[in-house]
Amino acid sequence: MTSHPRGLQAELASLTTEAFRPELAEIDRLPTLGIARLMNGEDAGVAAAVGTRLPQIAAAIDAIAPRMTRGGRLLYAGAGTAGRLGVLDASECPPTFNSPPGQVVGLIAGGPAAMVTSVEGAEDSAEMARADLDALDLTPDDTVVGISASGRTPYAIGAVEHARALGALTVGLSCNEHSALAAAAEHGIEVVVGPELLTGSTRLKAGTAQKLVLNMLSTITMIRLGKTYGNLMVDVRASNEKLRARSRRIVSLATGASDAETERALTESGGEVKNAILVILAGVDGPTAARLLEESGGHLRAALAVAGT
């Protein structure tokens, strides 16, 4: 159902993210350095705003991780900037954590074309969100994170409501308090960063806040899934020369092995960093390392414990 223009205008005027700041009415007359200083000052408070929501973020991650251990997926759903941020975070997971491409998915209202152009009416369609999720055959082990700066975007709310009805875990990420999106989700995360430098341009502070939270959701979940060893990305996919060099460095940092020993272990393990570390630290061969990791659910520390290291 389409909102009456005047009603929508009044609704937007009530949102913190849409508030007009009279003190910035002459910003276009300032020197460039002055505008840059203003923007930098605005951005400085974003991390602190995220910090006030750490308990809610941690609770969401602690609910997401066991579902993903059982084979569930992490699905982001949003429109415009929020949708693009979800797609970006999802696209970074395979090269960073060697996760299957379908394990973390970003859905944007209007489909891939909306990454670069506006798709008319897409963000207002809860039906489109339901169709996008149905195409993925949602299961109770999946998690759907609706993303919307305003917290009122029908596409994001529709995605969360539909996912929750199907038994999936739901998270609502917004930048206004008492949002409809947070109310619709099991886990509401409302990071209030205040009015924007440019009225209603929520790709600024709100977008930065959303990016920080999505970084936490995916990164800490992957840590919980055993994708790291300490702060080393041991599931990195060595798909180019830079990443192959990083793989060698990670093995060396984790084990203290010489360059020659590192190369031998990586060769023995088919280039798999986690396996190579286990080969060196546990003194096993490549097949044994692969078996120990499989039995330990891919957790290197657990595999080392089984090997008695």
Q: Give per-residue pLDDT as tens, 73-115.
A: 999 999 999 999 999 999 999 988 989 999 999 999 999 988 8
Q: Are residues 77 and 197 in the same domain?
A: yes
Please report the pLDDT score of residue 63 as a whole number.
98
| Domain of residue 21, residue span | 10-224
- Tell if the pTM clears 0.95, that is, is over it: no
Q: Are residues 51 and 161 in the same domain?
A: yes
Please say which residue of 168, 192, 224 terminates a domain.
Answer: 224
Rounded Cα distance, 71 and 9, in Å:
43
Please say which residue of 164, 197, 224 terminates a domain.
Answer: 224
Q: Are residues 288 and 183 in the same domain?
A: no
Please say which residue of 190, 224, 258 terminates a domain.
Answer: 224
Q: Are residues 57 and 145 in the same domain?
A: yes
5-14, 82-91, 181-190: the lowest-pLDDT one: 5-14
**Number of domains, the chain:** 2
- Average pLDDT, integer, range 28-44: 95
Please report the pLDDT score of residue 201 as a whole number.
86
Q: Are residues 196 and 257 in the same domain?
A: no
In-domain check, residue 187 = yes
Q: Is the pLDDT of residue 15 over 90?
A: no
Q: Are residues 211 and 247 in the same domain?
A: no
Q: Is the pLDDT of residue 309 over 70?
A: yes
In-domain check, residue 229 = no
Q: Are residues 112 and 35 in the same domain?
A: yes
Q: Are residues 171 and 43 in the same domain?
A: yes
In-domain check, residue 203 = yes
- Classify residue 232 by its DSSP letter: B
Q: Is the pLDDT of residue 1 over 50?
A: no
Which whole-number Å values give the CA distances from 148 to 66, 112, 179, 229, 271, in the listed order? 25, 18, 10, 33, 40
- Average pLDDT, integer, range 217-227: 97
Q: Of 171, 101, 111, 99, whose CA–CA distance to 135 is shortest?
A: 111
Q: Are residues 264 and 193 in the same domain?
A: no
Q: Is the pLDDT of residue 246 over 60?
A: yes
In-domain check, residue 233 = no
| 90 or 201: which leads in pLDDT | 90
Rounded Cα distance, 215 and 224, in Å:
14
In-domain check, residue 236 = no
Q: Are residues 144 and 46 in the same domain?
A: yes
Percentage of the chain modeled with pLDDT above 90: 79
Q: Is the pLDDT of residue 3 over 70?
A: no
CATH at residue 131: 3.40.50.10490
Helix (H) or strand (E) holding 11: helix 5-13
Active site residues: 92, 123
In-domain check, residue 105 = yes
CATH at residue 260: 1.10.8.1080
In-domain check, residue 2 = no
Q: Is the pLDDT of residue 11 over 70?
A: no
Q: Is the pLDDT of residue 2 over 50?
A: no
pLDDT band at residue 120 under the 50/70/90 scheme: low
Q: Are residues 172 and 94 in the same domain?
A: yes
7-11, 144-148, 151-155: the lowest-pLDDT one: 7-11
| CB contact set of 145 (below 8 Å; sequence gap of 6+) | 74, 75, 76, 77, 86, 170, 171, 172, 173, 214, 217
In-domain check, residue 127 = yes
Q: Are residues 144 and 254 in the same domain?
A: no
